[in-house]
Structure 1
């Protein structure tokens, strides 16, 4: 059994894998909870990606050997990104996860979290990049921070297109704006690359998977799957 850890910008997630099979997911974990999970059994491998917690801190808390994804880690696709040292680790993992789910296929992985990331991998296994735009929380916070009179509101999934109050107008603008952005970018990728598998992942995927038109494959744990795929690629 492998323990796969993803320390993101806003929360940490853990996945238990038997080979390439995802057995169980633990979401929104504190570091102490991850420590308890890691110490609860003996794992063959513990593999982690982190953008928010120091590697030494993780190693100390877990008390076992931990390997980390880095820009030097070998990956199962051809990374053609012009600045690979700046490529987000979550994007690397999402691409690996997309490739595992749909091998030899043009894929667009859309990860909706603190940011929205768009990552395209070709059927031949070449990755050239994608795009990054603000996620839900950033949009809500920016409207409040950079204007004089707009309130900071909490996300609510239900929204009317025509907002009948300032609060509802913000909900409408953010949610329907994101929906229009994602659908528009999908159309542009389809126009450019033809047949394409669209994979939606990340914490915000459940908000939009039923809103988006067309064939969308929801894979909320794609980053964990990709991390485990990278681990398997390096130890097999």
Structure 2
């Protein structure tokens, strides 16, 4: 079995594959202060609930955009799973040319998403990931990663509004009954949700105009479902694009990794 781990700024997502089947996945809050042992206990508990034994896992791959957590999770895999994990980073074989000015600046999750999306569709693509930041990544019809755009995430903007405007409350992120809010809470919900719909639709439209192709647009990340229902730019939502991308990268590198 393959353990895939995606460490993001807000959440850590675990998944377990048996051959090509994703058996299950779990999402935890990212807490830098947690120890290796604490994360190991959480992981083992989650696996136990699904009756997946830790000793049945014989491979692991990690994507991480939180540098202080990379070594702890490497230790976790070695100490508790008994395997050396493959790390997504410089030197890993992706099968995708990276046309960024400095390829090492591209977040591991963005490359993982791009590889998975192109493997599935084999055409020009824009991947919109609604995570801590909202990222837009363009992949050419030839399968080249070009670059994209990075905007503050939806929850970051919502929290900033609460923290910096003394009279505004913290609100739940749900769609209001109408765009014209008749109270402060509905007005804030309207501004955040429809403001982000405008951001997504506007960036995707301008990106399509610039690249002069007709890319298929994939949404992913925790709030992609909400945005998909309101946006006219997103063609589909792929909840598991990052986990599938990690599996694909492991398959591309497993033989080399064995002898490294």
TM score, norm. by length of structure 2: 0.82
Q: 1:149: which partner in 2?
A: 167
Q: 1:183: which partner in 2?
A: 201
Q: Does the 8 Å contact 1:107/1:120 carry over to 2?
A: yes
Instruction: Check if 1:22 corresponds to 2:22.
Output: yes
Pick from 70, 75, 78 the counterpart of residue 55 of structure 1.
70
Distance 1:99 1:205 in 2: 19
Q: 1:34: which partner in 2?
A: 43
Choose between structure 1 and 2: higher helix proportion: 2
Distance 1:159 1:84 in 2: 44
Pick from 97, 102, 127 the counterpart of residue 78 of structure 1.
97
Structure 2: give runs of 5+ residues left out of the alignment.
30-37, 256-260
Structure 1: give runs of 5+ residues left out of the alignment.
none
Q: CA deviation at 1:226?
A: 1.1
Q: 1:197: which partner in 2?
A: 216
| Count of matched residue positions in the alignment of Structure 1 and Structure 2 | 235
Q: CA deviation at 1:39?
A: 5.4
Distance 2:72 2:209 in 1: 46
Tell me the C-alpha RMSD between the 2 structures.
2.1
Q: 2:33: which partner in 1?
A: none
| Alpha carbons of structure 1 residues 56 and 189: separation in structure 2 relative to 1, 3 Å | closer
Regions of 4+ moved over 6 Å:
none
Q: CA deviation at 1:77?
A: 0.4
| Alpha carbons of structure 1 residues 39 and 201: separation in structure 2 relative to 1, 3 Å | same
Secondary structure in 1 matching 2:56:
coil
Q: CA deviation at 1:19?
A: 3.9
TM score, norm. by length of structure 1: 0.90
Distance 1:189 1:132 in 2: 13
**Larger relative contact order, structure 1 or 2 (CA cutoff 8 Å, min sep 6):** 1
Distance 1:127 1:94 in 2: 10
Pick from 227, 250, 253 the counterpart of residue 208 of structure 1.
227
Could you list the per-position Cα deviations for residues 179-205 of structure 1 after superposition, in whole angstroms to 9, with x for gaps in the alignment? 111112222233233321111101111
Instruction: Check if 1:87 corresponds to 2:87.
Output: no
Distance 2:201 2:72 in 1: 40
Deviates more, 1:184-193 or 1:167-176: 184-193
